[in-house]
Amino acid sequence: MKTKYMNPYLAGLMLGLVLLMAFFFSGRGLGASGAFKNLLVASEHIVAAEHVETNGYFGKYVADGKNPLNSWLSFEILGVLVGGFISGALSGRLKIKVEHFPKITANKRLTMALIGGVLFGFGSQLGRGCTSGSALTGMAVLSLGGFITMAAIFGTAFGLAYTFRKNWI
Amino acid sequence: MGPLVPQEIIGQDWNMLIAFIIGIGFGFALEQAGFSSSRKLAGLFYGYDTVVLKVFFTAAVTAMLGLLYFSLFGWIDLNLVYVNPTFIWSAIGGGVIMGAGFIIGGFCPGTSVCAAAIGKIDAMIFLAGVVIGIFVFGEGYPLWKEFYNSGNLGNPKISEILGVSGGVMALLVIIAAGIMFWIGEWAEKKFTREEY
Amino acid sequence: MNARILTLAVTLLLGVVIAMVPENTTKRYKLTASDMITEVRDGSEIISPEDLAHWIITKDPSIQIIDVRSPDEFATYHLTNAFNIPIADILNDDYVDILDQGVKMNVFYSNGTMYSHQAWMVLRQLGYENNYVLQGGLNYWFESILSPKAPSIYSSDEEIAKYDFKKGASEYFGGGGAEIQATAPATNTNKPVIKRKKAKKAPAGGC
């Protein structure tokens, strides 16, 4: 089973080179949560334009008629979808399913995923970036914030691991 | 020479295509590493699978060394590379909330995109959650605006704070990563779980 | 197992090397030597004293006059509205915003033209735009602006007009308080076009 994934160090090297190329070409690192912010702001703007424009946080993304979807991160995330799909196809992992620990139900897993997603979405805005945008990219450029965010994410996850062990082991 | 787009060696118009191609590489690397499985991601916190640790730190070390060597050879102007700002309290607060989201949801936003791409329904639900979380943050922004903007330190590098050169800092990170990999491999043997 | 130890060893070695070497903080030259030769031969960096005098008198807001001599010399005498960046400090980061802005044109001067040209060359090679050198330096300035020679009666109208302007300017800079006709003969058409700097974007990014 284990051999079907790439050697983690090799995969890490590959990921690091991709990140390096992002710096070399575009002068910036990778990201993920920002693309969903763009998606959210763009769709909310269609429904309630004025509301978004006056919002203290979202407003700047639509100021001066900007389209938030026309951003580096949006295209990068489209690429991630494609890249993930190609990799999954090559390794025979394309399958519609809910992956969950056998001792919990699929519904419980989905509920947990939703809660986790909400927390992550909220935290990524507060922390100015998620694991890719703040922790990984931040560490690569030796940003103090990157190291702090990384330590806080992994520290908290370790700290809460025992509380949520029933979901995983 | 680099970074090519900010120096306008490559036109701004190409930036989106570059973003897309880099995204493909990003998604491919994540999926190949096994980050499309929440089971593998959560494994780090129970010691049975430390792939997250290995991939994350190998990638960070690779990019960090790459940037430093590129700078040394004059291939990239590090002044033109974005350094994330540090707002110390919101970085810690956001990190703590993300950490909770990680252990509960089993993904982070980037990996969930990857997992959604190969058909994991839990990842799609996680992504819906992410969007809701961002929505809540934006709509309730006045409530945490002050906290969000507190502790602004500018864009410091950790090497500047510690008063060492970037190279020395990289060496420290490499040593730390080596030790963590060693612990990780030890943990994987000790806490082995069958896969499902 | 061996491969992993080898990888770790190589990475550590790379880390040690990067920790030992000094960081690359050199400012990179943007213009090559032959670019410079072309510009120097072209002489387009020279500003005549008449032009400069005219701009000072008309209080042209797009001019920055920079004195590259020592602070002592600056304190003794300097041109109206000039400010002092001694040549030794010209690369100081504090002055980057003044020297490399793409809004105003910088006119360098020293007693002769050696220091002003040196400043101009270094900055030009760094790719800074809109830098110029006062023709002949302060010495020539005294000669041509402050004590202009009267043209002979056979001179053209243009030269006589030029002399009138210089005489007016001389009184202006001499502090004589005389009313000056700042209607210099067509000198203002010589003004170089200020090259707008491409908006220097702060590197953007983040989630």
Contact B86, A144 (CB under 8 A): yes
Contact B67, B81 (CB under 8 A): yes
Give the dihedral sign, CA C45/C41/C136/C53: negative
- Encode C122-132: b = buried (16+ Cβ within 10 Å), e = exposed: bbbbbebebbb
pLDDT-wise least confident of A13-22, A23-32, B65-74, C153-162? C153-162
- Nearest CB partner across the interface for C18, out of B3, B6, B167: B167
Chain C residues with CB-CB distance to B under 8 A?
A: 8, 11-12, 14-16, 18-24, 26, 28, 198, 201, 203-206
CA distance B151 to A148: 13
Q: DSSP secondary-structure letter at C131?
A: E
**With 80 as the cut, is the pLDDT of residue B14 above it?**
yes
Mean pLDDT, range B86-110, rounded to an integer: 94
Contact B130, A159 (CB under 8 A): no
Contact B106, A166 (CB under 8 A): no
Is the CB of residue B8 less than 8 Å away from at least one CB of chain C?
A: yes
Q: Position C51: which residue type?
A: D
User: What confidence score (pLDDT) does residue B151 get?
Assistant: 87
Partners of residue A25 in chain C, C-beta under 8 Å: none
Q: Which domains does chain C possess? A: 3-137 (3.40.250.10), 147-187 (no CATH)
CA distance B60 to B33: 15
B128 contacts: CB under 8 Å, gap ≥ 6: A114, A117
pLDDT more than 90, % of chain C: 5
**With 70 as the cut, is the pLDDT of residue B120 above it?**
yes
Contact C24, C140 (CB under 8 A): no
User: What confidence score (pLDDT) does residue C89 get?
Assistant: 85
pLDDT in tens, C142-199: 888 777 777 776 777 777 777 777 777 777 776 544 444 444 444 444 667 776 665 5
Mean pLDDT, range B33-58, rounded to an integer: 91
- Nearest CB partner across the interface for B65, out of C15, C21, C23: C15
CA distance A23 to A58: 26
**With 50 as the cut, is the pLDDT of residue C69 above it?**
yes
The band of A110, judged by pLDDT with boundaries at 50, 70 and 90, is: very high
Considering only CA atoms, which of B86, B29, C84 is closest in space to residue A22? Answer: B29
Backbone angles phi, psi at C200, to 5 degrees: -80, 105
User: What confidence score (pLDDT) does residue B130 get?
Assistant: 96
Q: Which of C1, C8, C14, C29 to mutate to test the interface with B (most CBs of B within 10 A)?
A: C14
- Nearest CB partner across the interface for A28, out of C4, C7, C204: C204
End-to-end CA distance of chain A: 18
Which chains reach chain C with 3 or more Cβ–Cβ distances below 8 angstroms?
A, B
* C-beta atoms of B80 and C203 within 8 A: yes
Enter the tokens of residue A112: 């947990």
pLDDT-wise least confident of A73-77, B21-25, C124-128? C124-128
The band of C27, judged by pLDDT with boundaries at 50, 70 and 90, is: low
User: What confidence score (pLDDT) does residue B17 get?
Assistant: 93
Domain ranges in chain A? 99-169
Mean pLDDT, range C28-57, rounded to an integer: 81
User: What confidence score (pLDDT) does residue A161 get?
Assistant: 92
**With 50 as the cut, is the pLDDT of residue C59 above it?**
yes
The band of C204, judged by pLDDT with boundaries at 50, 70 and 90, is: low
Mean pLDDT, range C67-82, rounded to an integer: 87
Enter the tokens of residue A128: 């100015």
- Nearest CB partner across the interface for B167, out of C11, C21, C198: C21
User: What confidence score (pLDDT) does residue C198 get?
Assistant: 55
Partners of residue A98 in chain B, C-beta under 8 Å: 120-122
Is the CB of residue B68 less than 8 Å away from at least one CB of chain C?
A: yes
Instruction: Find where tokens 């300017």 sit.
Output: C169
Partners of residue C198 in chain B, C-beta under 8 Å: 8
* C-beta atoms of A5 and B76 within 8 A: no
Question: CA nearest A33 in C: which residue?
Answer: C207
User: What confidence score (pLDDT) does residue C187 get?
Assistant: 45
**With 60 as the cut, is the pLDDT of residue C47 above it?**
yes
pLDDT-wise least confident of B25-34, B107-116, C125-134, C141-150? C141-150
User: What confidence score (pLDDT) does residue A83 get?
Assistant: 96
Question: CA nearest B79 in C: which residue?
Answer: C203
- Encode B145-173: b = buried (16+ Cβ within 10 Å), e = exposed: eeebeeeeeebbbbbeeeeebbbbbbbbb
* C-beta atoms of A133 and C206 within 8 A: yes
C129 Cα to chain B: minimum distance (Å): 16
**With 60 as the cut, is the pLDDT of residue A1 above it?**
no
Q: Position A130: which residue type?
A: C
Alpha carbon of residue B189 to chain centroid? 26
Question: CA nearest A125 in C: which residue?
Answer: C207
Domain ranges in chain B? 12-190
Mean pLDDT, range A133-156, rounded to an integer: 92
Considering only CA atoms, which of B52, B149, B19 is closest in space to residue B94? Answer: B149
Mean pLDDT, range B146-159, rounded to an integer: 90
* C-beta atoms of B170 and C206 within 8 A: no
User: What mean pLDDT value characterizes chain A?
Assistant: 91
* C-beta atoms of B104 and A16 within 8 A: no
Between A34 and C157, the more confident residue is A34
The band of B9, judged by pLDDT with boundaries at 50, 70 and 90, is: confident
Is the CB of residue B84 less than 8 Å away from at least one CB of chain C?
A: yes
**With 90 as the cut, is the pLDDT of residue C100 above it?**
no
User: What confidence score (pLDDT) does residue A147 get?
Assistant: 93
> ipTM more than 0.90?
yes
CA distance C176 to B26: 73
- Nearest CB partner across the interface for A26, out of B19, B101, B132: B19
Between B73 and C204, the more confident residue is B73
CA distance B23 to A31: 9
C203 Cα to chain A: minimum distance (Å): 7
Mean pLDDT, range B143-151, rounded to an integer: 91
User: What confidence score (pLDDT) does residue C202 get?
Assistant: 57
Question: CA nearest C11 in A: which residue?
Answer: A13
Mean pLDDT, range B134-154, rounded to an integer: 92
Q: Which of B130, B169, B171, B189 to mutate to test the interface with A (most CBs of A within 10 A)?
A: B130
Which chains reach chain B with 3 or more Cβ–Cβ distances below 8 angstroms?
A, C
- What element of type H or E holds C105? strand C105-109
User: What confidence score (pLDDT) does residue B191 get?
Assistant: 84
Model confidence, pTM: 0.77
**With 90 as the cut, is the pLDDT of residue B31 above it?**
yes
Question: CA nearest C10 in B: which residue?
Answer: B174
